[in-house]
Amino acid sequence: MNMPTLDTASVRIIAAEKDHLARNYLPLPVVIASGEGAWVTDAEGKRYLDLLSAYSALNFGHRHPALLAAATAQLGRVTLTSRAFHNDRLGAFATALAELCGKDLVLPMNTGAEAVETAIKVARAWAYRVKGVAQDAAQIVVAHGNFHGRTTTIVGFSDDPSARDDFGPYPPGFVAVPYGDAAALDAAIGPDTAAVLIEPIQGEAGVIIPPDGYLRAVRESCDRHGVLFIADEIQSGLGRAGTTFACDREDVVPDVYVLGKALGGGIVPLSAVVADEAVLGVIRPGEHGSTFGGNPLACAVGLQVVEMLASGEFQQRAALLGEHLAGRLDGLVGHGVTAVRVAGLWAGVDIDPARGTAREVAERLAERGVLAKDTHGQTLRIAPPLVVRATELDWAVEQLRVALDA
Ligand SMILES: *Cc1c(COP(=O)(O)O)cnc(C)c1O
């Protein structure tokens, strides 16, 4: 996208950022100043349809009235207590989230990476204290193409060079197998395996949907070998895939849910690990924590998120709108698009290299008022807020058709 050469507010804001902002991102040259529902407005007043939803952290759209009301009410009472004391929101949030997950216990954190780290610690403690694995021998099986966050332990078992190169040394204890290959996963499980950690649908990898039956096979392997199934549902969960959890697509219940992103309603960072007493109960006072984890502001928003999901309305919207979107996107295959993968209201669109990179298509889309994000070179990721309308999706796909031809 050619940066406008005019001396606009956006140009000045982007130029000013350059002086003091680390370059760990390469954002599209769009300066968002406000948002409502599925739409955002830039510093010049130009409107864009948001087809990224902050990587699914905005499943309920920008400033959903019920979420804003919950946050505003809590801002008027108390925002942070630390876990040194109880607060009057945490128990209600934990109870509601445990019920949504069908599990006993909730351990609240803030970011997704922290929740994944928590799940790794829980799995290892479970291996030593319950399964009887020898000290420091526990292994966790992960998948190629995974994305679980940016901490040093987590990038250590990524196979994306830009995520891991030059940030080592990395801790041992992880074994990677091809994603979607249930036999390879089963073969990688040994007596010291504590857990299998996978995304039920790989988001960052380009909305990679595993073959039908894969999640059931993983569940069966974990049961047979006595290892924990940890599902990282940070991006796939909470309605995105047309069901409460992507695991629901195969009627599979993991031992551990790892949640984040949309759990904070697009207002605050809020993540959680959810599991039964027999698993999460291994953690004792003082062994794990977070200054901000379980704060009353986040819990007030998280409770509202869980209540909104309880009716199933958003999941159903995602499923129906996703079918609609899939129909429209299928019409582009062979016309600048080589493949489309859709799960709920979530699509990976592979761009024909003859039409440019996915980044170039995203830039052309932004010029036409549609925000979407490229991933891994040729894939465009589409994850609109679940409050988007079918007619807005039609319009966005029409803009994509034009952007592919440009
Ligand atoms: C985004 C994401 C994470 C990391 O979450 P952060 O809040 O960015 O730390 C972990 N796992 C998956 C599947 C994700 O999509």
What single string gives the DSSP state of each residue in 168-235?
----S-EEEE-TT-HHHHHHH--TTEEEEEE-SSBTTTTSBPPPTTHHHHHHHHHHHHT-EEEEE-TT
Dihedral sign (CA 148, 100, 241, 71): negative
Residue 35: predicted pLDDT: 98
Residue 80: predicted pLDDT: 98
Q: How far apart are CA 179 and CA 143, in angstroms?
A: 5
The number of the ligand 1 atom at minimal distance from the alpha carbon of 110 is 7
Rounded to the nearest whole angstrom, what is the distance from the C-alpha of residue 405 to the centroid of ligand 1? 33
Rounded to the nearest whole angstrom, what is the distance from the C-alpha of residue 113 to the centroid of ligand 1? 6
Query: Topology of 65-310 in CATH?
Result: Aspartate Aminotransferase; domain 2 (3.40.640)
- Ligand 1, atom 10, residue with closest C-alpha: 148
Q: How far apart are CA 341 and CA 380, in angstroms?
A: 11
Q: What is the mean pLDDT of residues 104-118?
A: 98
Q: What is the mean pLDDT of residues 278-296?
A: 98
Percent of the chain with pLDDT over 90: 98
Q: What is the mean pLDDT of residues 241-259?
A: 98
Q: Is residue 320's pLDDT more than 90?
A: yes
Distances (CA, A) of 145 to 142, 148, 201: 9, 10, 11
Amino acid symbol at 375 = T
Q: Is residue 307's pLDDT more than 80?
A: yes
Bond into 29 cis (ω within 30): no
- Ligand 1, atom 11, residue with closest C-alpha: 148
Dihedral sign (CA 133, 137, 138, 141): negative
Pocket test for ligand 1, best of 148, 273, 292, 346 (most atoms within 8 A of CB): 148
Pocket around ligand 1 at a 6 A CB cut-off: 55, 111-113, 116, 147-149, 199, 203, 232, 234-235, 260-261
Residue 374 DSSP SS3: strand
Residue 5: predicted pLDDT: 63
Amino acid symbol at 276 = D
3-state helix, strand, coil in the chain (%, to 5): 40, 20, 40
Structure tokens at 353: 């290299």
Q: Is residue 4's pLDDT more than 90?
A: no
Residue 15: predicted pLDDT: 93
Q: How far apart are CA 153 and CA 158, in angstroms?
A: 9
The number of the ligand 1 atom at minimal distance from the alpha carbon of 235 is 15
Q: How far apart are CA 400 and CA 406, in angstroms?
A: 10
The number of the ligand 1 atom at minimal distance from the alpha carbon of 203 is 15
Nearest to 318 by CA among 215, 246, 234: 246
Q: Is residue 2's pLDDT more than 80?
A: no
Report the catalytic residues.
147, 232, 261
Greatest C-alpha distance within the chain: 66
Residue 7: predicted pLDDT: 85
The structural domains of the chain, with segments of one domain joined by +, span: 65-310
Q: How far apart are CA 36 and CA 370, in angstroms?
A: 15
**62 vs 18, residue with greater confidence:** 62
Residue 86: predicted pLDDT: 98
Residue 58 DSSP SS3: coil
Rounded to the nearest whole angstrom, what is the distance from the C-alpha of residue 164 to the centroid of ligand 1? 15
Q: What is the mean pLDDT of residues 349-357?
A: 97
If you write DSSP's letter for every residue of 72-87 in order, what string do you get?
HHHHTT-S---TTS--
CA angle, 35 then 36 then 42, to 5°: 30
Residue 291: predicted pLDDT: 98
Residue 122: predicted pLDDT: 98
Rounded to the nearest whole angstrom, what is the distance from the C-alpha of residue 11 to the centroid of ligand 1? 30
Percent of the chain with pLDDT over 70: 99
Structure tokens at 139: 């292994």
